[in-house]
Structure 1
Amino acid sequence: MHPSSTVRPGVWIPRLLAVTFIFLAACSSSTNSGSTSTTAAPTNSTAPATAAGADLPALVRQVEPSVVTVLTEGGVGSGIVYKADGIIVTNAHVVAGVQDVTVALADGQQVPAKVRGADEVSDLAVIQADRTGLPAATFQKPLPQVGELAVVMGSPLGFEATVTSGIISGLHRQIPGSASTGAPLVDLIQTDAAISPGNSGGAVIDAQGEVVGMSVAYIPPTAGAVALGFAIPAATVVDVADQLLATGTARHAYIGIQPATLTPEIARLLGINRTSGVVAMQVATRSPAAEAGIQPGDIVIAFNGQETATAEELIAALRGTKPGDRVQLTVQRGAKTEQITVTVAERPAT
């Protein structure tokens, strides 16, 4: 683990990333509500998600029973039923500092629950509700595509079973930590579907009713933002939840680069003749990648000999490693290609 490493002090490629996040509000709320939602059995689907022809009322009826409200002494958030035996996933900042919470289910019942484990790095937590036979949500581990339908379900300001919709606006986003979470949040899904205080821990679903992400944060209008919400990818939720259930803790492979899929525009700015690969947009100071010699603007074209054509492929490959593993990256820098060995570390908490 490299506790001194952080993503924020790294060097940015000029002109490529100009957005500054002025203020980040973690979206748990201090307002409660007593409304209930209707029930419907969720279904599984492997068809690609698309916004075209989506029956939003049917999607809501399908997923609504799997989205709950999490009540604590300090406020209210949302959660998603992970397992039928009462396991619910939510954000760590929703249950920060408490062990006992109350879960308001879609059938109107409120049941006690205990925090099984929490991970501040990913801002994820698992709670055990005193109820079985719950309708578990279906999590879609592959990332959605930009432009696909995004439906946000949760309890903003305590208004249970609230639904908003929009599209997937971006992938692999990184935002600074808030006062609630502390650590920067990485590899997020961006959406223009409204996310508000209290949505934290709620579901972002696709046109098939599968969970593609968990609402975690938004940038408020007071910061000059319009419809900037963020969600943790479903694959991260599943990975961390399974670790928390197995061991009570979660470990995160980390090399310290912020990846972006190479585009023709970025290739022109970098002056390279290449159509695929992953750009190291930022390299964290004193990170494993920096210590191995990787620089901002390098193009990662293979991970342990397997081609990495997109940022998603690189992130998926990294998820298959653990801290302490040594991995070989094939990197293009200008006209030169070289092999660089990087020792995977554990993602720092701050």
Structure 2
Amino acid sequence: MLLVWLLVISSGCTAAPHDATPPSPQQEPQSTELPAVVERAAPAVVTVSAGQSTGSGVTYRDNIVLTNAHVVGESSQVEITFADATRTPGQVLATDIVTDLAVVRTERTGLPPIHYRQELPLPGETVIAIGSPLGFENTVTAGIVSGLHREIPGSARQTQALVDLIQTDASISPGNSGGALLNTRGEVVGINNAYIRPITGATSIGFAIPTSTAVDVADQLLEHGRAVHPYLGVSLGQVTPAIDTALGLPVDHGAIVLSVDPRGPSEAAGIQPGDVIVTFADRPVRTVEDLLALMRGVEPDQRVQMTVIRQNQEKQLAITIGENPG
């Protein structure tokens, strides 16, 4: 179940927060800069309280806070606590469940500014997570970027929210959701989103939504009240060795089409249940998450070439991307 991986934002959570990851020898020259980075950036990170749930947020505009949709839930009103301990009501303006992002307007204006860097950080780059894990406000942990274009295992079958993420070993715990992942210049490179629980055997595996995605969606939410996402109109599954053997497929990877939405873009393109998508927009597709990540790079009404395997034969199809109906 996806809920195994999601951050559970609840005052009743009893899991202990992770310790901050100690800097490695390679990181030592940068570590002396971290206190100054935190001092500059911390005022822009807030605590978001929605009923009994508590998460984090980052100032986005003069009176706008960016956070996760699962932090605010169904609430239309939340409470924002700032680094100086002052509190103000916040109105949830819009949410986007596809990317798990939300924008909140605060009664307080003149919020501390912070720069959102839209270029992806590099694997191995030092990063800092600031948030309110388990209610401990302005908690700071540090680590490195462990990988890019990651996904929560199995999440693509249930949601598009937890794919194409930044993976980090900076400790992320319940309550960090919506907080800032910073580089050593104090720029936001991601919005902390989820972690894999230690009960699964994982150690310091956390995830953040890249800033480029966060900024694009936040601007759409503020301007239009909703975000537009590309749409294929299919239900997908992962090709596994068992499926490969059972169906006699000539490939052991790809995204298999389980069903096709009537009158959707895929049906119009001639895609059929049982087709295995192996390329999309001239890029290889080995997993369902690969395909969803590639979808982030296209727009509704754009025409894209794709390759499918059907009855052991390769077919080239062209699809006009639709708009996710929500």
**TM superposition shift of 1:112:** 0.9
Residues 1-350 of structure 1: pairs in structure 2 closer than 5 A: 23-30=4-11, 53-54=29-30, 55-83=33-61, 85-175=62-152, 176=154, 185-255=162-232, 281-283=254-256, 285-286=258-259, 292=271, 298-300=278-280, 302=282, 318-319=296-297, 321-322=299-300, 325-329=301-305, 340-347=317-324
**TM superposition shift of 1:299:** 4.4
In the aligned structure 1, how far is the partner of 2:28 from the partner of 2:279?
Answer: 35
Question: What percentage of aligned pairs have identical amino acids?
Answer: 41
2:155–2:163 Cα contact (<8 Å) kept: no
2:189–2:210 Cα contact (<8 Å) kept: yes
In the aligned structure 1, how far is the partner of 2:53 from the partner of 2:306?
Answer: 48
In the aligned structure 2, how far is the partner of 1:159 from the partner of 1:153?
Answer: 10
In the aligned structure 2, how far is the partner of 1:296 from the partner of 1:52?
Answer: 47
Structure 2 unmatched ranges of 5 or more: 14-25, 238-249, 284-288
In the aligned structure 2, how far is the partner of 1:318 from the partner of 1:221?
Answer: 30
Length, aligned pairs only: 285
Change (3 A) 1:25 1:75: same
**TM superposition shift of 1:230:** 1.1
Farther off after superposition, 66-75 or 284-293:
284-293
Change (3 A) 1:31 1:53: farther
Farther off after superposition, 154-163 or 203-212:
203-212
**AA partner of residue 69 (structure 1):** T
**AA partner of residue 39 (structure 2):** R
**AA partner of residue 65 (structure 1):** P
**AA partner of residue 53 (structure 1):** P
**TM superposition shift of 1:59:** 1.3
2:11–2:53 Cα contact (<8 Å) kept: yes
Change (3 A) 1:342 1:316: same
Change (3 A) 1:129 1:205: same
**TM superposition shift of 1:70:** 0.6
**TM superposition shift of 1:250:** 1.3
TM-score by length of structure 1 reads 0.69
Look up the match of 1:37.
none
In the aligned structure 2, how far is the partner of 1:165 from the partner of 1:238?
Answer: 23
SS of 2:37's equivalent in the other structure is helix
In the aligned structure 1, how far is the partner of 2:280 from the partner of 2:159?
Answer: 29
2:279–2:308 Cα contact (<8 Å) kept: yes
SS of 1:25's equivalent in the other structure is coil
| Residue deviations 1:156-213 (CA, integer Å, cap 9, x gap) | 01111101111111222222459xx976522111111111010010011112211111
TM-score by length of structure 2 reads 0.73
In the aligned structure 1, how far is the partner of 2:218 from the partner of 2:132?
Answer: 21
2:56–2:178 Cα contact (<8 Å) kept: yes
Look up the match of 2:242.
none
1:301–1:332 Cα contact (<8 Å) kept: no
**TM superposition shift of 1:225:** 1.4
Structure 1 unmatched ranges of 5 or more: 1-19, 33-49, 259-270, 272-279, 304-310
Write 1 or 2 for the structure with the bigger share of helix.
Answer: 2
2:131–2:138 Cα contact (<8 Å) kept: yes
In the aligned structure 2, how far is the partner of 1:233 from the partner of 1:127?
Answer: 19
Change (3 A) 1:89 1:236: same
**TM superposition shift of 1:328:** 2.8
| Residue deviations 1:18-65 (CA, integer Å, cap 9, x gap) | xx9892132423169xxxxxxxxxxxxxxxxx9673211111112111
Change (3 A) 1:317 1:23: closer
In the aligned structure 1, how far is the partner of 2:324 from the partner of 2:10?
Answer: 28
SS of 1:232's equivalent in the other structure is strand
SS of 2:166's equivalent in the other structure is strand
Change (3 A) 1:330 1:320: closer
In the aligned structure 1, how far is the partner of 2:257 from the partner of 2:203?
Answer: 29
Q: Which protein, 1 or 2, shows the higher relative CO under an 8 Å CA cutoff with sep ≥ 6?
A: 1
**AA partner of residue 78 (structure 1):** S
